[in-house]
Structure 1
Amino acid sequence: MFVPFLIMLREGLEAALIVSLIASYLKRTQRGQWIAVMWIGVFAAAALCLGLGIFINETTGEFPQKEQELFEGIVAVIAVFILTLDGVLDA
């Protein structure tokens, strides 16, 4: 129980650091009017993550072990595809 707490704490601190860096950048570049939009994005992302987490927990909780591993593999392949596509489109 303690290890998942530490992982979530670390991830939360990383997210807070990123949001504070973006807010600082917006203020220093005289784009303070975009801070409200940034917060809308932060809360939308948090709501989406929470909803998706609940959905995945509810749908995969009843999978047998083999199907859960297959589901995790498919999600990992989709994540790799999206990150690769992002890297290709940025280049």
Structure 2
Amino acid sequence: MGYVLSNLSIGRKLLLGFGLVVVVALGVASVGFINIFALLERGDLMTGIAESQIHLLRAKVAQQDYVRSGSPDSAQRAQASLNALQSRLDALLGGALEP
């Protein structure tokens, strides 16, 4: 390797060094971008989980309201909250299963 480098001119050595620096810099930048995208995906997942918990709490409140009052309106609200929860969980699972 040393023999090959000694036969190259200074301009070629500088060009080779610059090329190596560019390749290393692009490699480091690509790893950083991949990690940032993974972090953003994790944030979206955590947001989805929080929304699911909100729907679950609303369904529990509506269920307790139905237990106390027995009105069909509160039963419909509980059913709507549970349907929203189910659709949100399905969306989260569908997003998690995609490659």
Verify same fold: TM over 0.5.
no
Higher RCO, 1 or 2 (CA under 8 Å, sep at least 6)? 2
Normalised by the shorter chain, which TM-score bucket? Answer: 0.3 to 0.5
Instruction: Work out which of the two has the higher radius of gyration on C-alpha atoms and give 1 or 2.
Output: 2
